[in-house]
Structure 1
Amino acid sequence: MLDDLRDAVDPEGDRIDAAEFSYLQLNYYRPGRETRDLLQDAHEDGHLLTIVTSRQPGLEFEVDGRFEPANLAPDELLIMPGGILTLMTGGLMQPLVHQVRNVPGLRKRASLMFFVNASVANPPRAWIAARDGTYPDIRQATIESSQMFGLGSIGALAQ
């Protein structure tokens, strides 16, 4: 999929090696024990892509300034563009802002996410320059985004 995106915006651009710095994450909640409306506030994940699935409701994404339920079927995945993809495309592809609503009556909620990251050992050059004509530092942006949610830096993996 990343090769297809690259071919659409810059066929001569760098290929993205995502194998070494991508990872899985399982989020598990007990909504009945929470009193707040949102289990996760609105955010974007800060990766190239996030591939997510969940069998329980609650995931919502922003459309025209309002949040809509994702309504994923049990056998469906949602592929969400992240902030690093925004940098790679010069702003052409915006990140998908999403949140997780606390659904009344739901006893548990689990979601599985695969966070796709570019290599920080051999980072790609952005496919499209930023509006000011410069190319962002994808390596540094990837390292910084890996720390957004309290995770250790994936930059340490490259050393």
Structure 2
Amino acid sequence: MTQIKACCESIARSGFGTLQISDAMLQDYKKIVDGYSAISQATKESFSFALDTDGFFPFGAEYSGIEDQPDLCERFCYWPVHASKRMAFDFTRSTFFAAVDSFERQISELAKELMDGVCGEFGVSPLAPFRSASYVQLCVYGAQTTGCVRRFAQDPHEDGHMLSFIKPTREGLVLVKGSSLEPVRLLEGEIAVLAGSLLTELSDHAIPAAYHAVLAPLKPVARSSLIYFANPNPEQLLTSFYRRQSIDLNSTVNARHTGFGNQPIHSL
């Protein structure tokens, strides 16, 4: 059994799986998580596009269901659909940006292959390419966020996407299963794959969304997490996996996106 097949079966069964990433992706990942600290505050402020949820966002700009308990991190978001609008900025010629662009191209291909496999588990046709509706997000939890009274740096939630690919630099990511917390532990070359609420709806609730959170560290320590959020192509007419009924997820995509404190996605 290939690792893709095994991951597809695990997602179909439990909403969670793991995958190996290539050496090239791992190198891009390291350039991204290691390179963030060298980016100036001036660059972060100039390369921020709130209406597109693109570029840099300051500490506490997003939340996971509770508006007055923001996620304890800074963010960088990269949507390939907006890349052509940013080329006048010097930052797009940086090593960091090049690594993000390279990682996104590779993870989008991996995501498409995996989603095709998940569809195969249910005997339905593959989805249309969804790269233009999907994006990369880097969450940076600085050491200064420790020592707070909160248990979570990111409160328990399910992602409002089809699939989330998550690779953190250290421990903290947990699956929330009832009253228990199950730590997600990954090898250096592994990435976690979590089903989101859109995939639950598309599968007629056969696939559970992976409820998860990020624990606040007990000691002052920096932590980063690189994520790829896969959303369905807004132009595709979707059919649910079991009932074979037409399902329009566009409004749901926007509701989930804005529910985390983001601006609406313009194309939806």
Q: TM-score, normalised by structure 1?
A: 0.85
Deviation at residue 123 of structure 1 after TM alignment:
4.3
Match in the other structure for 1:117:
231
- Give SS of 2:238's match: coil
Which whole-Å deviations, capped at 9, do the CAs of 1:98-121 have from their partners, x for residues lacking one? 010012114211101100000113
Q: Alpha-carbon deviation of 1:14?
A: 5.5
Structure 1 segments, 4+ long, off by >4 Å, are: none
Instruction: Name the structure with the higher helix share.
Output: 2
Residues 51-72 of structure 1, C-alpha deviations (whole Å, 9 max, x = no match): 0001111110023541111122
In angstroms, what is the RMSD of aligned CA positions? 2.0
2:167 partner amino acid? T
Work out which of the residue numbers 69, 86, 97 in structure 1 matches 2:211. Answer: 97
Q: Which runs of 5+ in 2 are unaligned?
A: 1-113
Name the CA distance, whole Å, in 1 between partners of 2:211 and 2:237: 25
> Residue 120 of structure 2 contacts residue 126 of structure 2 at CA under 8 Å; is this kept in 1?
no
Cα displacement (A) at 1:134:
5.5
Structure 1 partner of 2:176: 62
Aligned to 2:128: 16
Greater CA deviation, 92-101 or 57-66? 57-66
Say if 2:164 and 2:193, in contact at 8 Å, map to a contact too.
yes
| Cα separation, 2, equivalents of 1:70 and 1:22 | 23
CA contact (8 A) 1:24 1:112 kept: yes
1:29 to 141, 147, 154: 141
Partner SS for 2:267: helix
1:77–1:106 distance in 2 versus 1, CA, 3 Å:
farther
Distance (whole Å) between structure 1 residues aligned to residue 193 and residue 171 of structure 2: 17
Question: Does the alignment pair 1:144 with 2:255?
Answer: yes
The 3 A distance-change label for structure 1 pair 14 and 140 is: farther
1:48 and 2:162 are equivalent in the alignment: yes
Aligned twin of 2:75:
none
Gapped regions of structure 1 (runs ≥ 5): none
The answer (yes or no) to whether the contact 1:14–1:125 under 8 Å persists in 2 is no
**Whole-angstrom CA distance in 2 between matches of 1:134 and 1:125:** 5
Q: 1:20 corresponds to which letter in structure 2? A: S
Q: SS at 1:20's partner residue?
A: helix
| TM-score, structure 2 normalization | 0.53
Query: 3-state SS of the aligned residue for 1:25?
Result: strand
User: Structure 1 stretch 14-23 or stretch 112-121: which is displaced more?
Assistant: 14-23
Cα distance, 1:126 vs. partner? 2.2
Q: Identity, % of aligned pairs? A: 23
What is the aligned residue count? 153
- Answer whether contact 1:55 1:74 (CA < 8 A) is retained: no
The structure showing larger relative contact order (alpha-carbon pairs under 8 Å, at least 6 residues apart) is 1
Tell me the CA shift for residue 139 of structure 1. Answer: 2.0
Any conservation in 2 of the 1:55–1:72 contact (CA below 8 Å)? no
Deviates more, 1:19-28 or 1:62-71: 62-71
